[in-house]
Structure 1
Amino acid sequence: MGNVVVYGAGGTAGSRIVAEAAGRGHRVTAAVRRPEAVTWLPAGVRVVTGDVTSARSVAELAPEADVIVVAVGGGERALWRTAAENLVTVLRDLPDPPRVIHVGGGATLLTERDTPFLDEPDFPAGYREPALGQADALALYRSSADGVTWTYVSPPPVEFHPGERTGRYRTGTEHPVTDGQGRSVLSYEDLAVAIVDEIEEPRFENMRFTAAY
């Protein structure tokens, strides 16, 4: 089994990724800003102080990792680009760098007109800065990540909530995966399944994928 470092492990997505990976036997390190506040992660998970916006933190944890998962949230637009910059800068200098799996936003997915959802006139203003930050990170991986293997994961742009782990999902790349009614829906639990599946059997190296039912 692999060594998986999860930044943002105390969050809604990160905690589920930690649980899924640990449940499958991976050695998981949960990197959080305040370890003392994270008490609900599975037994056996190593909890450490970590901040993906700190190049020093990345440099400390990267050498022992097979995969680094970025599942951080909140903050200003610069958060996600800084995270991507730190990872690319630090990892490209390692002799055997870990793979990066970056949990990004669904707003960067494309509409039927091949324009990002975040550019729609009715896109909520309160989500625009985080969405732009995630778009910045995706652009950086695509343009500047030579020597680093990365995967950017986008959940559905709207109907993405905590729920049931079914273990099933379908994948796509640039456009949301929709059902017969045109809906794109996924639980956080099944996003975690899709991510750990990708860790174990890579299919989307150096590209973005999305998942839904």
Structure 2
Amino acid sequence: MSSIVVFGAGGTAGSRVTAEAVDRGHRVIAAVRRPEATSYLPAGVRTITGDATSERSVRELAPEADALVVAIGGGERGLWRDAAENLVTTLRSMPAAPRIIHLGGGSTLLTPRGTRILDEPDFPEQYRDAALGQADALDYYRTAADGVSWTYVSPPPLEFHPGDRTGHYRTGTDEPVTDDQGRSVLTYEDLAVAIVDEIEQPRYVNARFTAAY
């Protein structure tokens, strides 16, 4: 059994990761901004006020954790890099620091030409700031996260939605995983499976991975 802190456990992705981890018998701490609004989380989850961009929050929670899952959203572009930088710099100064599992953006994945999906001319403008923010976080992990253990997880860039948990998925690294029809599809529930699998059996340490059917 692992001890897992989920920042953003009240959100669509974070709540699925929380439920999946609890179902497998892990001890989960839900770190959210409004604990009173998370009554739907599974029984046995310890819910506290916490913020991935707060050094105090990370310093208080890290000693209890084997992994810190970052599933935050809804902020301005700098949110995700701020969280990454705070986690890395805080954990770097601590002995036996937990691993970071950062749920990032699918638009940071690469096209067959080697360019980022978010840089395509037809990329929706309303999503650009969030996509760039997640790209900033990935760049930070790759260039400045020495001394800590991290994994950046990208869902499919387009067809990613709540649905059924099948327990099945395939993984890749920097390009979307596609099926025979060229589609990259996954539910939030099966991304949660992939994330908890990665916590239990690390395969992508200090690297990015993506998953789809």
Aligned alpha-carbon RMSD (Å): 0.4
* Aligned residue number for residue 96 of structure 2: 96
Say yes or no: does 1:150 pair with 2:150: yes
How much has 1:115 moved relative to structure 2?
0.4
In structure 2, C-alpha distance between the alignment counterparts of 1:22 and 1:110, rounded to whole Å: 33
Equivalent runs, 1:56-205 vs 2, <5 Å:
56-205=56-205
How much has 1:210 moved relative to structure 2?
0.2
In structure 2, C-alpha distance between the alignment counterparts of 1:158 and 1:35, rounded to whole Å: 30
How much has 1:54 moved relative to structure 2?
1.1
Say yes or no: does 1:209 pair with 2:174: no
In structure 2, C-alpha distance between the alignment counterparts of 1:92 and 1:182, rounded to whole Å: 41
In structure 1, C-alpha distance between the alignment counterparts of 2:8 and 2:101, rounded to whole Å: 12
Query: Hey, which bits of structure 1, 4+ residues long, moved more than 3 A?
Result: none
In structure 1, C-alpha distance between the alignment counterparts of 2:120 and 2:74, rounded to whole Å: 22
* Aligned residue number for residue 18 of structure 2: 18
In structure 1, C-alpha distance between the alignment counterparts of 2:71 and 2:127, rounded to whole Å: 17
Secondary structure of 1:183's partner?
coil
In structure 1, C-alpha distance between the alignment counterparts of 2:135 and 2:97, rounded to whole Å: 24
In structure 1, C-alpha distance between the alignment counterparts of 2:84 and 2:136, rounded to whole Å: 9
Secondary structure of 1:14's partner?
helix
For structure 2, the residue ranges without an aligned partner over 5 or more in a row are: none
In structure 1, C-alpha distance between the alignment counterparts of 2:112 and 2:101, rounded to whole Å: 26
How much has 1:53 moved relative to structure 2?
1.3
In structure 1, C-alpha distance between the alignment counterparts of 2:23 and 2:54, rounded to whole Å: 29
Residue-pair matches, total: 213
Secondary structure of 1:163's partner?
coil
How much has 1:107 moved relative to structure 2?
0.3
- For residues 122-173 of structure 1, the C-alpha deviation after alignment (integer angstroms, 9 at most, x for no partner) is 0000000000000000000001111100000000000000000000000000
- For residues 90-146 of structure 1, the C-alpha deviation after alignment (integer angstroms, 9 at most, x for no partner) is 001111000000000000000011100000000000000000000000000001111
Q: Give the AA of the match of 2:106.
A: G
Say yes or no: does 1:29 pair with 2:37: no
Q: Give the AA of the match of 2:67.
A: V
In structure 1, C-alpha distance between the alignment counterparts of 2:59 and 2:193, rounded to whole Å: 27
* Aligned residue number for residue 8 of structure 2: 8
Secondary structure of 1:81's partner?
helix
Secondary structure of 1:41's partner?
coil
- For residues 21-72 of structure 1, the C-alpha deviation after alignment (integer angstroms, 9 at most, x for no partner) is 0100000000000000111000000000001111111111111110000000
Taking only the aligned residue pairs, the percentage that are identical comes to 75
